[in-house]
Amino acid sequence: MAHQATSDAYVELAPRCLLQRPELAALLGVIASEWAALESNLTFLYGSLLGKTMPHDHTNGPPVHPIGIQIFETLESQHKRITLIEKLTNTLVKDVALLSELTAVVQSIKAAGKQRNKFLHANWGTNDTQYPNAILKINAPGQFDVYEKSDFNEAIDLIITTADAVIKFEFNVINHFRTTTQLI
């Protein structure tokens, strides 16, 4: 878990300083990439809620809904996308267990989003003397949090687990629509 740097710590803020910690810089890239995959999964979920599904084989490509993709690309924030999914699901799905699953998935998305933002919207520096295997996030003048490999891996694991929960929920929605007489 990240911790505060000592009060006497300093931070080097040289351009491209993250390149001094290539493994941690790469993990930042993994966080961004896995988040993009999660966002794609949300688009596919939205397409499934709209009732347009195609064979869902991640090896050969997930379902695509042209309107869903256009809508999601137009929305400016993850909050708006999640709200849209929640409202559409609550309109179309009356199964209490499925709605409870949605609540848990949304909570997980929000938690993963906070982790992603903490890492990707940060000003990072290094300190080769005191923290040679970490990077320091600048919180305020003289206030730095120390992040090591395990901190990045925790965030990555949360994002991947959340993406898997979105996929599972989508499959449950598809199966629900297939087994009900409800028109969508």
Q: Angle at Cα 26 formed by Cα 20 and Cα 29, nearest 5°? A: 130
Residue 10 lies in a domain: yes
> What range defines the domain where residue 64 resides?
3-179
- Phi/psi for 76 (5° steps) reads -90, -15
Helix-helix angle 22-49:78-92, to 10 degrees: 30
Assess contact for 151 and 27: CB atoms under 8 A: no
Q: Domain for residue 39, yes or no?
A: yes
| pTM for the full predicted model | 0.88
Helix and strand counts by DSSP (H, E) for the chain: 5, 4
Contact residues for 121 (Cβ-Cβ < 8 A; gap 6+): none
Q: How far is residue 125's CA from residue 27's CA, in Å, rounded to a whole number?
A: 15
Contact 2, 147 (CB under 8 A): yes
102-159 tens-digit pLDDT: 999 999 999 999 999 999 999 999 999 999 999 999 998 889 999 999 999 999 999 9
CA–CA distances in Å: residue 166 to residues 152, 163, 172 = 21, 5, 10
Q: Which residue, chain included where needed, has tokens 């709209």? A: 50
User: What distance lies between CA 132 and its chain's CA centroid?
Assistant: 28
pLDDT one-digit tens code per residue, 16-57: 999 999 999 999 999 999 999 999 889 888 888 887 554 555
Is residue 56, in this structure, part of any structural domain at all? Answer: yes
Tell me if 184 is assigned to some domain: no
56-114 tens-digit pLDDT: 555 455 555 666 677 777 888 889 999 999 999 999 998 999 999 999 999 999 999 99
> How far apart are the C-alpha atoms of 162 and 100, rounded to whole Å?
15
Domain assignment present for 150: yes
Would you say residue 173 lies in a domain? Answer: yes
pLDDT in tens, 160-177: 999 999 999 999 998 898
- Whether 40 maps to a domain, the answer reads yes
Per the structure, the count of domains in the chain is 1
- Within 8 A by CB and 6+ apart from 183, the residues are none
- Asked, for residue 99, whether it belongs to a domain, the answer is yes
